[in-house]
Amino acid sequence: MEIKVVKIENPEELNVILGQSHFIKTIEDIHEALITSCPGIKFGLAFNEASGPCLVRYSGNDDELVKLAVKNAKNVGAGHFFIIFLKDAFPINVLNKIKMVPEVVRIFAASANPMEVVVYETEQGRAVLGVVDGFSPKGVENEEDIKKRKELLRKFGYKL
């Protein structure tokens, strides 16, 4: 048994959602949830099947994002793991719809930060232990930081 760290390759610093699901139907249901959540969304989705032929299943509406999702799903190598790369949308636009997909068990992370997946490998296969999302805190926000945070949320249209 061995613990490994797998870096998520995300050269364009796209938003990424990492999760776990439990059934081959996942790929079509998450695709449908994404496409109906946010007009104009571009995405690539990959899902590691954990029984039968154990294939990386994939879908999406942007070929480059699909290739990136497949590459990362293979690198992580854990059964029932899924990864979604987003363009022209943010996780906040789609997360609730994804969580409502009956096959989805959990969301590990949703971020544009650098991410590493901590996996545990046994003779049977791999499991995701957790995700390192971004970096450790360097301090506590001050009044100027609070002002910038509030301005950013309003710029994106999330607050009035």
pLDDT tens across 58-102, in order? 999 999 999 999 999 999 999 999 999 999 999 999 999 999 999
Rounded CA separation 16/85 (Å): 5
CA quadruple 37, 110, 56, 69: dihedral sign: positive
Token pair 């949703």: residue: 110
Token pair 């439990």: residue: 22
| Residues 6+ positions from 35 with CB-CB distance below 8 Å | 41, 61
Residue pLDDT tens, the chain, 160 long? 899 999 999 999 999 999 999 998 999 999 999 999 998 999 999 999 999 999 999 999 999 999 999 999 999 999 999 999 999 999 999 999 999 999 999 999 999 999 999 999 999 999 999 999 999 999 999 999 999 999 998 998 888 8
CA dist list (Å): 48 to 18, 67, 75 = 12, 14, 11
pTM: 0.93
Q: What is the model's pLDDT at position 1?
A: 86
Give the class (CATH, top level) of 2-155: alpha beta
Q: In what order do the strands lie in the sheet with 115-121?
A: 2-7, 115-121, 126-133
Tokens of 77: 């190598």
**Domain spans of the chain?**
2-155
Q: What is the model's pLDDT at position 158?
A: 81
Rounded CA separation 145/140 (Å): 9
Tokens of 130: 């957790």
